[in-house]
Amino acid sequence: MSKTRFIIIKEIRHILRDPRSLVIAIVMPILMTLLYGYAVNLDTKNIKLAVVDEDKSVHSRALVNSFFQSGYFIPSLSAPQINDLEGVLRAGHAHAVLVLRRGFSEAVRTQEPYQVGLVVDGSDANRAAAATNYSNVLLFDFIRRNVSAPTVRPWVWISPRVLYNPDLRSPDFFVPGLIAIILMMISALLTSITIVREKETGTMEQMMTAPVTPKQIIMGKAIPYIGIAFIDGLLVILFAVFHFRVPFEGSYLLLAFFGVIYVTAALSIGVVISTLVRSQLAAMMTALMVTVMPSVMLSGFIFEVKNMPLPLQYLSMIIPARHFIVILRGVMLKGVGAPALWRETLALVLLTSVLLGIAAKRFKLKLG
């Protein structure tokens, strides 16, 4: 153990001697939290809508107003030509064009059939779907309020209630998940790079001739990074709670416990990568490909796993971040305890032990 301590001290000196890297390792997570907290919002709004109003009546103006007051649409700055509605869409000046030909007001009064036109830029499928959905709802709503004797009766109403994040704030969803991403980045990426760097500069061989075991080398190199990872995790939580006002309903201790398991898994991946590659560039690209990218894209951090094709859903099961993110959101937003998270706990513990086993074996093999 005491030998491990020396390597830890050596590694900490290495880190401290390069203050720029240390500052980056601390500042980066904060910047990332700010970026994700402010920028990531998948709730489609502010759809740029251009309007062609040939009816020019009280009713047509009221309908157009209700579109812009809904918060989903904003007026496009350029007016479309009636014979070239596509022009504004092609140039990206508008995402949709609402066309009210003559007779709208008449139709509202007499209940004659009438078609409100909507031309949508479909290149972003998600936004196009939102634009048509919102338009339908807004139009229904307008008719209900303005047609004197609506023919459609009776009514079924939906009375919606939202739990856990009633204001539907995006940061509450994205910032907890970010903790998993940052822990993975720091632990897997930094460990693999720092080990490979010793290989690249040839100091790894020197260390191996010294009377220390491979286990001690690895522990000594990994422990300082566990420290950095935890500082980073804590920073993100502080920012989440105090800056973005993300609720923390559950137990800090429970989260820290899961954090240790998760970081162990991440470090193991880092060690395995370091045994596979010879250059820092290769270590970094491998780490990005097998840890960071899947943790961001396949974990449910941004995109829901259940929407993916089945093979990807199965693949996501062996990604530690997928399970840890469920735990993070459960503990932070819903205040759930360990019993509700037994599936994720089981998966995480299983993954971690397998990864740790592989890492130990590979490293011994490499050195022996």
Q: How far is the CB of 329 from other proteins (least distance, A)?
A: 6
**Which one, of 107, 104, 133, lies nearest residue 120 by Cα?**
133
Backbone angles phi, psi at 84, to 5 degrees: -140, 70
Backbone angles phi, psi at 302, to 5 degrees: -115, -45
Instruction: Give 116 or 207: the residue with its C-beta nearer to other proteins.
Output: 116
Q: How far is CA 328 from CA 6, 34, 208, 238, 257, in A?
A: 34, 18, 39, 14, 12
State the number of CA atoms in the 13 A half-sphere of 215 facing the CB. Answer: 6
Q: How far is the CB of 276 from other proteins (least distance, A)?
A: 8
Instruction: Give 230 or 303: the residue with its C-beta nearer to other proteins.
Output: 303
- How far is Cα 248 from Cα 332, in angstroms, rounded to an integer? 4
Q: How far is the CB of 171 from other proteins (least distance, A)?
A: 9
Q: How far is the CB of 290 from other proteins (least distance, A)?
A: 10
Instruction: Give 280 or 353: the residue with its C-beta nearer to other proteins.
Output: 280
Q: Are 153 and 268 in contact (CB under 8 A)?
A: no
Instruction: Give 111 or 353: the residue with its C-beta nearer to other proteins.
Output: 111
Q: How far is the CB of 148 from other proteins (least distance, A)?
A: 12
Angle 316-320-321 from CA coordinates, rounded to 5° = 85
Cα-atom radius of gyration of the chain, to the nearest Å?
28
Instruction: Give 64 or 89: the residue with its C-beta nearer to other proteins.
Output: 89
Q: How far is the CB of 93 from other proteins (least distance, A)?
A: 9
Q: Are 347 and 316 in contact (CB under 8 A)?
A: no
Q: How far is the CB of 2 from other proteins (least distance, A)?
A: 28
Instruction: Give 66 or 165: the residue with its C-beta nearer to other proteins.
Output: 165
Three-state secondary-structure class, residue 84: strand
Instruction: Give 177 or 259: the residue with its C-beta nearer to other proteins.
Output: 177
Q: How far is the CB of 248 from other proteins (least distance, A)?
A: 14
- How far is Cα 330 from Cα 241, in angstroms, rounded to an integer? 15
Q: Are 62 and 145 in contact (CB under 8 A)?
A: no
Instruction: Write out the DSSP string of 250-305.
Output: S-HHHHHHHHHHHHHHHHHHHHHHHHH-SSHHHHHHHHIIIIIHHHHHSSSSSS-G
Instruction: Give 58 or 281: the residue with its C-beta nearer to other proteins.
Output: 281
Q: How far is the CB of 324 from other proteins (least distance, A)?
A: 14
Give the pairing of strands 96-100 and 73-75.
unpaired
Three-state secondary-structure class, residue 355: helix
Measured from the Cβ of residue 209, the count of other Cβ atoms closer than 10 Å reads 7
Instruction: Give 8 or 298: the residue with its C-beta nearer to other proteins.
Output: 298
- How far is Cα 64 from Cα 49, in angstroms, rounded to an integer? 10
What's the token pair of residue 39?
């920028």
Q: How far is the CB of 49 from other proteins (least distance, A)?
A: 11
Instruction: Give 53 or 124: the residue with its C-beta nearer to other proteins.
Output: 124
CA 75 from centre of chain: 30
